[in-house]
Amino acid sequence: MKTIKLATLLILNFFSFSKTNAQTTPNDSIKLDYTKIYALALDGNPKQALPLLEIDPTKKIAQKDLKFKTNFENRFKFAADKSDFLETRKSKIDELLKIYRDYWRFSFLNKEKKTDTLIMKNVANFLKKNLPAAKNLPLNEDSINVYQKKYISNLGYHTTGFGKTGGLYDLLVWKTEKDTVYKVNYEGKETPIKIYFMDDFITLGWSEYATLGRYYPAGWATQEALFCVKKAYDLKSETFRVSYIGHEGRHFADYKLFPKLKGVGSADLEYRGKLTELSLYSEDGLYKRIQSFINNGNYDSDNGHSIAAYCVIRDLSRFLFNTDYEKNLDKWKTIPASKINQAAAKILEENTKSLKKIPNVEKFIK
């Protein structure tokens, strides 16, 4: 089984969004809703974020917000991508990255159209042309994965392979990596886990493209090891211990406990990873993480991360507030962090018990 099929990517969630510069006259200034813009982009809908960038020309806008507006519109508003995405990441895979860039963009702007066959044909044709061994490449995911990895490896790079993150085929390519072993205490048992720290990325995939580099996969797990985007974390921080080690360690364990669990875009796996995070965070990080899940949760999404975030907030809301979905963070802050930790752990425990009752379970959360 290839790496990307095993991998459940963890999208890096920054806890503070950019704030617009203060204006001398607040009533005639523009403030972009970055939270909503990024949430739509991460859900694969940057097109729906474009109206949020429309501004009254008589009002003021901070220089950095104007720059963001210009760059975002250059990428998604016009018939072709007018941004510098490709120019800023020149490498030996320029032609292949352009194929993916065009596929991501077309998929974002034409949500009603099915694009799986398109990207498979384009990548297969590229590999047949540029890799002699792929001359007779059959048109299927496994074969494309093998030869795309070979092509990228021959150029001296590393990659996850050909497979989907959320609802789209992704492309992650990096130049360097170093491995080390961490000892993780999981359910009372100390387990050594190898972690590969990756650096010098050419591309971090469609989420990086959709959010102009603001969000991207920060790490993932396979059955053999964990992979960490080095620049995403302070290795001494709680974020690394919880949102990386805790979350991805949960995936690492779940691949063995529930080998067929996949849900919609790995929503079930993400649900369990996110509950693990909320069972571990201290007060400083907990409420910020909850806010992130509230911002990005979307039950109707094709993205497993968005579905899982919604389900986590929904189920904790029912447990703690007896409501269907509590969006007000101030209400969450009235609950002690330790009580939220315990509730998340309890829901995760119940989920584990339910999954163990279903042989070869593939999907559970609703």
Total length of the chain: 366
> What values do phi and psi take at 286, rounded to 5?
-65, -50
Q: Is the pLDDT of residue 29 over 80?
A: no
Q: How many CB atoms lie within 10 A of CB 198?
A: 24
Q: What is the pLDDT of residues 276-296, one digit of tens each?
A: 999 999 998 999 999 999 999
Q: Residues near 333 by Cβ (< 8 Å), separated by ≥ 6?
A: 287
| Confidence at 20, pLDDT banded by 50, 70, 90 | very low
CA distance 25 to 361: 58
Q: Checking phi first, is residue 20 left (phi over 0); if not, alpha (psi -120 to 50) or beta?
A: beta
User: What pLDDT does residue 166 have?
Assistant: 81
| Percent of residues, the chain, with pLDDT higher than 90 | 80
User: What pLDDT does residue 149 have?
Assistant: 98
Give the range among 90-99, 167-176, 183-192, 241-250 with minimum mean pLDDT: 183-192
DSSP assignment of 283-319 equals HHHHHHHHHHHHHH--TT-S-HHHHHHHHHHHHHHHH
| Confidence at 263, pLDDT banded by 50, 70, 90 | low
CA distance 134 to 136: 6
User: What pLDDT does residue 4 have?
Assistant: 37
Q: Is the pLDDT of residue 9 over 70?
A: no
| Percent of residues, the chain, with pLDDT higher than 70 | 91
Give the range among 183-192, 292-301, 304-313 with minimum mean pLDDT: 183-192
User: What pLDDT does residue 27 have?
Assistant: 52
User: What pLDDT does residue 15 have?
Assistant: 32
Mean predicted confidence (pLDDT) in 12-18: 36
Mean predicted confidence (pLDDT) in 306-330: 96
| Confidence at 336, pLDDT banded by 50, 70, 90 | very high
User: What pLDDT does residue 187 have?
Assistant: 66
User: What pLDDT does residue 55 have?
Assistant: 87
Q: What is the pLDDT of residues 58-81, one digit of tens each?
A: 889 999 999 999 999 999 999 999
Mean predicted confidence (pLDDT) in 46-65: 93
> Which residue matches tokens 């080998």?
259
User: What pLDDT does residue 2 have?
Assistant: 36
Q: Is the pLDDT of residue 5 over 60?
A: no
Q: What is the pLDDT of residues 96-115, one digit of tens each?
A: 999 999 999 999 999 889 89
Whose CA is closest to 280, among 234, 243, 314? 243
Mean pLDDT of the chain: 90
229: which 2 tokens? 């985007």
Q: Is the pLDDT of residue 21 over 70?
A: no
The answer to whether the CB of 267 falls within 8 A of the CB of 311 is yes
Mean predicted confidence (pLDDT) in 184-208: 89
User: What pLDDT does residue 24 have?
Assistant: 37
